[in-house]
A and B are shown apart, each in its own frame.
Chain A
Amino acid sequence: MGTEAGLSAGRLVGRPVRRREDDRILRGGTRYLDDIDLPGAAHVAFVRSPFAHARIGGIEVPDGIAAITAADLDVSDLPVQGIEGGEVSADGHPVLAGDEVRYAGQPVAMVLAESRALAEDAAELVEVDYEPLDPVLDARRSDVTMSRWHRVSGDVEGAFESAAHVVRASHSLPRLAPVPMEPRGAIASFDAAEDLLTVWVSAQDSHRQLAGLARVLGRPEDSIHVIVPDVGGAFGSKGAPAPETMAVAAAALATGRPLKWAEDREENFVASYQGRGMEAEVELAFDGDGRILAVRARIWADLGGYLMPTTAIPTHTTAMLMCGVYDVQTADVQVHGRRTNKVPTGPYRGAGRPEAAYFLECTVDVAARELGIDPLELRRRNLIRELPYKTALGWTYDSGDYARCLDLAEELVRPERGGDAERVVGTGFGMYVERAGGQFETAEAELLRDGRVLVRSGSSPHGQGHDTTFAQLAADRLGVTLEDVELRFGDSKEVPRGVGTFASRSVAMGGSAVIQAVDALKEKIEAVAAGRGLREVAARHAGLRAAARFESDLVFSSGAYGAVVEIERSTGRLTVLRLVAVDDAGTIVNPLLAEGQVIGGTAQGLGQCLVEEAAYDDEGNPTFASFVGYSLLTAAEMPGVIAEFVETASPLNPLGAKGIGEAGAIGTPAAVANAVADALGGAGVDPPFTAEKLWRALG
């Protein structure tokens, strides 16, 4: 069932309501982690490995310096999440390095001092006896596999043997740094009398931090209080708890002193887990009419030195989506996650979906050129047309209208190709289907004495505007105004235990839980209301509350992106002339905010195409330790973006919503890559599409 009666016609739902969060931000009233000063707290700096791979012989701390090493902490390694139908190794990230370091920047020891500057001074004096080892930097040549997944469906061999055409293409996506504008950080304070450890952490939610802390520190969960303050962006990088957060918490327990760690930008570049870093060889078998008979894909993922809790997840996601939007039931997909001496990878906006869309869609365009069929026509011959659709690889796509998305993208982008002596122009498209939501989410709704309703949500915002979006949902359900709804997020003692914010799940899951909690509260209110208004009821029945736990299978957003690009022959400079984003995220609760998510995502997708690459040198040293080595796009580079929504409601939640948070980052790279290949007359180039690469490709 799609949207319930009254929802799509809501007074607030579906409207571009401006955000309530803004006033505080605009006036400078935000409190991110580093804005919090705990009296008496010592400041932390980490001693980090300068080597990509080394054994540690010993650590010498001069007198007068307060330092903590692995030997001083009674903690376990960070846990590792498995992947369904696959295997992961036991390479959990240690809190502080033991007798080995596996990447440059890995935290080895922590130093406490009265100020960050003094802590950095002290950190320089700690002597670590490193015995450097040769680093492994090429995932395909690494002989250590840390994650593996393989699925075969149907007679793949037979399909390839009988195929009229077989198309092969190789693609490589370098690692990217998430670069939230606010780096990571944590503050920990232990109250021995209450046996309560309080941890403030810049994170995507309190739940995973809490679970991770409890496990690593070996403490019961109710003895830990996690508070997530304002968060300045995350994009996946603040989801899994950081080893540094664990170290700070453990050290606060060990020393009894409150401790503050506010990461600086250099640390964030070097030590925060990265995204992408996958290579693929894709083969498509076609019949004589351009119908895909089978998909075969081999994917190698550069996982870094350890498995962070969520490192293996993007590899699994990429593999599961290798048939994309196409009606193909015969597939053989395997992914090998290999260990290298680099910082671990993990979920970064898109988290496996951009890779799948890229690998498949770029290969489809190669096929179009080889088969002599228009790329859009080739797609149209193969699109899934009836949903729900059970894929060969295991997931079931719940809803979508892929053909409509593609038609709209084609119409809006106004394809263009050609060129002259000075420039060459190309057009490309990229389609995607992506998994969102899943698991469960929680909410509680409570009637306050003044007649307002307080909603506590297990979702946790870091820029998405949940306070406004969820208030829209609740207000419409209750028939009240936005001002009558208050939201609470991010404090483990204030919100019900939930799952958190990642995988574009907040509206579909968090929003649905809010609706269910509010509906349940409404029932309770109506049971005692006897015709009276909310304010009257509240005077008598303040504290009336209801809880909800909304569970659902994954929902699948989809879309089609189109790009027109121009390459200047004399320099190789790439300019994106037009970018169109057509996304189907089901019901859109707030189109203003949804579009903001799309545009933000496209900027990151464009960054991946134009300038971003987290490259290590031959010795395993990061070349991206500052903004000089790692570029971000500025306002001057952003093209106009046309964002449109197709709304096919999901049957899996009362909102009919899917997810929009990552779409821009998922669809853009494939579309731009295909446009570049079109402009180059078919030459395959991997991103980032630097001027030098394009200039050489143009010959």
Chain B
Amino acid sequence: MKPAPFDYRAPASVEETLPLLELDTAVLAGGQSLVPLLNLRLARPEVVVDINGLAELDYLRADGGPLRIGAMTRQVTLERSEPVRRGWPLLHKAVRLVGHRQIRSRGTVGGSVAHADPAAELPAALLALDATLHMRSTGGARRVAASEFFLGPLYTAREPDELLVEIEVPGQPDGAGAGFAEYARTHGDFATAGAAAVVGPGGHAGIALFGAGPVPVRSEAADQALASGAGAREAAELAAREVEGEHRRALCTELARRAIEEAMA
């Protein structure tokens, strides 16, 4: 299948990019989600804005506070980063499971977030980590918490004229553990469901499920249970309580339990 015709722009800076963004434009970052849609003619933008030239968005900064991930950071870069592995192990565990090596060579962190596939690993991990998404448009800058960013399958709070520029992840408390578990029919498939968990001292807890519904889900009840000393099984059951479908709920419960246990270990 070949894409329908489109115009192509390759801006060299964020400033050059912003005026180009509107309803009929598609932003081309890693291309691992967009190009399949173009090839199937399921996406038919008039203009494709290729932001691979925006080197200014390719960075990982961990200066002792939050982790700042430039939207154009390749997934493989996140995977290979030592500071990320040490300071935000949940991200490391999540990104290693994204697609395949060849996908991660090109796919970007920002792209995965903006695409918002309900079965994607990174949105769930970022939700569990209380990340904040930073966007810019010709009208200014905006920040949205991860908990308010994912609105539906492939649908986020990003307006068509906004560019996701940075993902900010708060620093994790010392001694916080991370766990990640997913289930897929085969290693080539998208995940059917999965769970991301952080558990730390002082009641720090965050459990997010993906593949459990139209958006990644964080359960306050589960977080609170964990924070007040509940076991992994109980917290997992709370986390998956609202999942529809008996088997899917059982699957999510089991994956959440594994992720929480890994985080507690």
Contact = CB atoms under 8 A, between A and B. Distances in A.
A and B touching (C-beta < 8 Å)?
yes
B249 to A, nearest CB: 11
Contacts of B183: 571, 573, 691
Interface in B1-21: 1-5
Interface string B178-205: 0000010111111010000000000000
Contacts of A266: 1, 40
Contacts of B27: none
A626 B40 contact: yes
A627 B250 contact: no
Interface in A89-140: 115-117, 120-121
A222 interface: no
Nearest to B255: A571
Interface in A632-667: 632-637
A19 to B, nearest CB: 27
A584 B22 CA distance: 65
Nearest to A692: B247
Given A266-B40, A626-B40, A636 B2 contact: no
Nearest to A267: B1
Contacts of B250: 570-571, 695
A634 B190 contact: no
Contacts of A24: none
Nearest to B251: A571
A264 interface: yes
Nearest to A264: B1
A289 B1 CA distance: 61
A573 to B, nearest CB: 7
B254 interface: yes
Interface residues of B, number: 20
A121 B44 CA distance: 12
B190 A628 contact: yes
A45 to B, nearest CB: 9
B2 A117 contact: yes
B77 to A, nearest CB: 24
B2 A637 contact: no
A637 B184 CA distance: 11
A631 interface: yes
Contact of B247 (A115, A631, A691): A691
A245 to B, nearest CB: 20
B260 to A, nearest CB: 14
A427 to B, nearest CB: 24
A632 B4 contact: no
B188 A632 contact: yes
A121 B247 CA distance: 43
A571 B187 contact: no
A390 B129 CA distance: 70
Contact of A611 (B3, B40, B185): B185
B261 to A, nearest CB: 13
Interface string A615-631: 00000000000111001
A695 B186 contact: no
Interface in A242-283: 264-266
A609 B138 CA distance: 54
B2 A571 contact: no
Nearest to B193: A571
Contact of B2 (A120, A572, A632): A120
Contacts of A695: 247, 250
The B contact surface, by secondary structure, is loop
Contacts of B4: 121
A217 to B, nearest CB: 29
A141 interface: no
A696 interface: yes
B1 A572 contact: no
Contacts of A633: 186
Contacts of B41: 120
A121 B5 CA distance: 8
Contacts of B254: 570-571
A26 B3 CA distance: 31
Interface string A206-230: 0000000000000000000000000
Contact of B188 (A121, A264, A631, A690): A631
A635 B187 CA distance: 8
A611 B186 CA distance: 8
Nearest to B3: A117
Contacts of A627: 188
Question: Interface range on chain A: under 10, 10 to 19, 20 to 34, or 35 or more?
Answer: 20 to 34
A691 B186 contact: no
A121 B189 CA distance: 30
Contacts of A632: 186, 188
B245 to A, nearest CB: 9
Contacts of B192: 691
Interface string B95-108: 00000000000000
A626 B189 CA distance: 12
A692 B250 CA distance: 10
A636 B190 contact: no
Contact of B187 (A573, A637, A692, A696): A637
Contacts of B5: 117, 121
Given A570-B254, A695-B250, A634 B2 contact: no
Contacts of A116: 2
B198 to A, nearest CB: 22
A218 B192 CA distance: 52
Contacts of B40: 266, 626
A537 B195 CA distance: 75
A637 B186 contact: yes
Contacts of B251: 571, 691
Nearest to A633: B186
A115 B4 CA distance: 13
A572 B186 contact: no
Given A120-B1, A570-B254, A695-B250, A631 B187 contact: no
A542 B186 CA distance: 56
Contacts of A634: 186-188
A633 B186 CA distance: 6
B255 to A, nearest CB: 8
Nearest to A572: B247
Interface string B63-78: 0000000000000000
A458 B254 CA distance: 56
Contacts of A631: 185-186, 188-189
Interface string A564-578: 000000111100000
A107 to B, nearest CB: 16
Contacts of B2: 115-117, 120
Contacts of A691: 183, 185, 192, 247, 251
Contacts of A120: 1-2, 41
A120 B183 CA distance: 37
A360 to B, nearest CB: 29
A132 B161 CA distance: 40
Nearest to B258: A570
Contacts of A626: 40
A671 B197 CA distance: 39
A121 B246 CA distance: 44
Interface of A: 115-117, 120-121, 264-266, 570-573, 610-611, 626-628, 631-637, 690-692, 695-696
Given A627-B188, A636-B187, 12 more contacts: A117-B3, A117-B5, A266-B40, A570-B254, A571-B254, A573-B183, A631-B186, A631-B188, A631-B189, A634-B186, A691-B192, A695-B247
28 contacts: A117-B2, A120-B2, A265-B1, A266-B40, A570-B250, A570-B254, A571-B183, A571-B250, A571-B251, A571-B254, A610-B185, A611-B186, A626-B40, A627-B188, A628-B189, A628-B190, A631-B185, A631-B188, A631-B189, A632-B186, A633-B186, A634-B188, A636-B186, A690-B185, A691-B251, A692-B247, A695-B247, A695-B250
Interface of B: 1-5, 40-41, 183, 185-190, 192, 246-247, 250-251, 254
- The 5 closest A-B CB pairs, nearest first, are A117-B2, A636-B187, A692-B247, A570-B254, A634-B188
